[in-house]
Structures are given as structure tokens and as C-alpha cells.
Amino acid sequence: MSENYSRGQYQPQSRTRTAPPHLRAEAARRQPSGRGSSPQRRKPSNGGSGGGRGITLIALLVIAVIVGGGVWMWLNRTVYVSVNGQSAEVKIDSGLTDILSVSGVSPKPGNLVSVGGNVLEEGGGTAFTVKVNGDELTEGEIGSFRAKGNEAISFGDGTDVTESSHEEERESQPKLEPASSVGAVTFVSQYGKTGRQKFTVGDISGEAIEGEVIEPVQNVKIESVNVRPENGRKVVALTFDDGPSKYTQRYLDILSKYGARATFFCLGSQIPGNEGLVQAIKNQGSQVASHTQNHEQLTLLDPDALRSEVTQTFSAISSAGGGDTTVLRPPYGALDTSTWAASGGTFSASIIWNLDSLDWELPGVDTIVENCTLGVTSGSIILMHDGGGNRDQDVEALPRIIETLQGQGYELVTINELLATDSRIPESVASGNATIPEGHVWASEVVE
């Protein structure tokens, strides 16, 4: 008892109970974190500062709309430009096509043309040309141009555009160069050779335009002359057409008597059955040449018929023993440049005449003699006939003709011998059997 009293005071013993742990933890959780005795209020979940945040968002949206609208208006504003001298209001950064559409200007477009300059499509070229502030714009500059304002724009008509093309290397075929004069002897002075050349070829049109020459082409050349014997020789050629016939051997006998030679232009159709006469002409020292197969006018024939008329007779002469020849006399003396081109190079020389006996008219022996001797000069070619009708007058006139000419100092020779006296005529032609040389070709087109 004495333990519970001190200094005269009574102090009862305190019995404090300790709360269980889970209750102490709950109490600590609920204890306010701040200092002071006032309990802390919770913030409401809706209302208060949440309303202010919404107002702010709306304000930002309004500002964005205003700013965006201003930017859009700036980007889509209009400016003024001058179009062909007239003021025009256009959208900023407008291209030239848009400017043209609002300007009222209507330039004419160019055309699409071939590599040869022919119109392939009207309006298929450039739509227009244009200058800006006096400077012509290129195609690329036209596409990239954007108006900023105050430009002076001038539209003009469009230009032609050439089709796309590619380059090819081709053979160039020779053409035939016709004779520049007309004489009794027309011959091939040069055979052709192919060349190689670059061409520009249109992808649409297929037209080919000549370009760089890689290897030059060599044309076929035809020349025509009256024979001019050189070295002072006096030579004349007697010629007989339309045989062989029953008169041919009589002519040969007369020629042999006078030591003269002549040329017989035989018809191929007359050779069968007269092969011996063809051989006799050659054996006498005279010359056998062609007067075609059927005496048809060569200038009226198509190319196939023409070549047949020529080659059949050459073959017939050769087969009959008359020798190989590429010399002919065209019926009626008719032979033009187109006929030469169509011949395929089957003959090398065409022989007509510059003195005509007119024996086919049966004018009388005296007239025939005069026609063959008056006006004769060295190099003359005299036309007579050994076939095609009655030739009795020729048989009687021939000795007198030979005597007269020999009396004037003339030598009577074959066509081959006559051609050999003129150096303008190639030796191959004078041989009477010139053909297209190896590595050479003929021409089917004539030089324009």
C-alpha cells in the first residue's frame, strides 16, 4: 500500500490497454496527413476545376479554326497577271494551263508530223507556246511554272511535234542514171554496186530519211553516142535485120567477095531451122546479134515479157553456134530509160542506125544505094534487111553500096569492131558480150 502513495498524494495505478495490430493499422490509415486539428475534405469527382479545362479546349479549337482559315485564305488568294496584254485575276500558284483556261485566249495547237514532215495528226503537237516577262519557256519550264502575281504572260500557237523515231542501217540500192544525149549506140558504161547508209525511221509512219553514208552506192550509168572512130580510121558498119532468111547466104557471099563484114540482127523466132545460117554468119567473119524473139516493141512490154524477148534470142543464137552476145537492136528502134531499168541488165548495148536504106519501102535499087551512101561518115551505121519480105532489091544494091563505100576509102566492119574504135565505149561492151560483173548489181529505179 505504501507503494501507491507518494508525497502525500494518491495516485491510482493506470491500466492502459493496447489495441490489436489490425485496429492500429486502420487507425493510422484514417489519421489526417496534415497538421492541425481540422479534418481534410475530399475533392468532388465532377465539377470544380474540370469545367475550366473544357473552356480552355474550346478556346483552343476556336483559335485553330481562325488561324487555319486565315492560312487557307492566304494559300487560295488571287493575284493579277497580264495575259496577252489583258489583266486577268487568277488563283495564286496557278499553272499555265489553268491561266489559259480563264484568259479567253485560244492558241492553235501544232500538229504531229512524220520524220519526213507529213502531218500525221492535226492538233497532235504542243498546245501552245508561251513567254513570261519576255522569255520563251521550255517544255519543262511550262510544266513547272506557277503564278505569283504581276507576271506578263504571252501565249502563242503551238508548235509541230515530230514523231518518235529510231535509226537503222540499210543497204542502199543503186539507181539508173539515164543517158544525157541520144546517139545510135546506147550502152552500159557503169554497173551498179550496193551501198550501206544510216536511215532515220519514223515509229508511226515508217518513213525512212537518209542519213550518214557508211559505204557509198554506185549507180548504173547509161551513155549514148554516135561512134567517132579514132586515129583517122574510116570505118562503116552495114547491118541487116529480121533474118536469118533465104537471102542471108546471098548477102554473105557478096560480103566475102569484097572482103567486107557486117552485123546480122536476127530474130529468135527465125533461128529454128536456120541454125546453119547463123553459123555461116559467124564463119564468114560477120557478127550475129539480137533483134529480139518476136519483133515486139520493147517499150510496151512488162518487165517479165521484156526480159523473155531478150534472153530467148541470146540463148537461141548461142545454141545455134552464133556465139555469145548481149547486143541487140530494139524493134522500131524503140528503147527508153524505163525499158533499160526493167531489163534487169540482160543486154549491154542497144544499136540503132544513123543511115536508113528504107529498103522496106521497096523504093528501087538506085534509091537504096543513094540512101546508104549519101551523107555517110566514118562511124556511120547503115540499116538494111535480110528478112521480113522481098529483098531482091537489096541483093542487087549491096554490091554497088560496098563498091561506093570502099571507093571512098571506108572499111566495112562489124558493130563490135566499130565500137572498138571509140575509146569512150568500154572494151567489155565492144566485145559484144558484156554482162553484170561479179559483185555488181542492176538498178530497177531511175534517178529522178
**Bond into 44 cis (ω within 30):** no
User: What cell was used for 67?
Assistant: 488561324
Closest to 349 (Cα-Cα) out of 232, 276, 434, 441: 434
Nine-digit cell string for 5:
502513495
> Would strands 185-190 and 220-225 be described as parallel, antiparallel, or unpaired?
antiparallel
Instruction: Give, rounded to a whole angstrom, the gap between the first and last alpha carbons of the chain.
Output: 162
Q: What is the DSSP letter of 324?
A: -
CB-CB contact of 432 with 289 (8 Å)? yes
Q: Which residue has the cell 476556336?
A: 62
Contacts for 115 with CB less than 8 Å, ≥ 6 apart: 162, 163, 165, 200, 201, 202, 205, 207, 208, 209
- Amino acid of residue 404: T
Answer yes or no: 295 catalytic. no
Looking at 241, 242, 359, 394, which residue is catalytic?
241
In angstroms, rounded to a whole number, what is the distance separating the alpha carbons of residues 110 and 228?
62
**What is the residue whose three cell numbers read 496577252?**
84
**385 assigned to active site:** yes
Q: What is the CA radius of gyration of the chain?
A: 57
CA distance 417 to 435: 18
Residue 170's CB is within 10 A of a number of other CB atoms, namely 16
Burial class (CB in 10 A: 0-12, 13-18, 19+), 267: buried
* Distance, CA of 418 to CA of 286 (rounded, Å): 12
Q: How far apart are CA 411 and CA 345, in angstroms?
A: 32
DSSP symbol at 333: G
From 295, 359, 385, 386, the catalytic residue: 385
In this structure, what C-alpha cell is assigned to residue 212?
550518214
- Helix orientation angle between 365-373 and 392-407, rounded to the nearest 10 degrees: 40
Q: Which residue has the cell 558498119?
A: 237
Catalytic residues: 241, 385
